[in-house]
Amino acid sequence: MATPHVLLVDDSCVDRLVAMRVLKSCNIRVTVVESPKQALKFLDMEHDVQLILTDYSMPGMTGYDLLIEKSPKLSHLPVVIICTENIPERIKKCLDGGAKDYIIKPIKVSNVPELLSYI
């Protein structure tokens, strides 16, 4: 299997660093952007991403907004929402909107097999 490529979207420098280290320690290629708008621009140019891992709470546009706004040509691309808050209504909204999963931060090595199962 080729090295999986994950697009990590998070406005928090610390959370990006933690998630990136966990993913890279599991031999996952990681591209990092700081906002959903940057993610959409990146996805317009880059087509080898296999999973979007996005924070929910970001200024301007949420991870849910990114989930809904990604273009129809990327509808096959799985999205996993990550967040520090365990809010059942938000989790349901994201899963109903098409997210594959909703993971409470921080990302751990034990989350990686499940993330890879969505690719």
Task: Name the residue among 55, 109, 116 with its Cα closest to residue 82.
Answer: 55
pLDDT of residue 13: 96
- The domains located in the chain, with CATH, are 5-117 (3.40.50.2300)
Residue 6 banded pLDDT, cuts 50, 70, 90: very high
Give the pLDDT confidence of 19-65 residue by residue, as tens digits.
Answer: 999 999 999 999 999 999 999 999 998 779 999 999 999 999 999 99
Residue 1 banded pLDDT, cuts 50, 70, 90: low
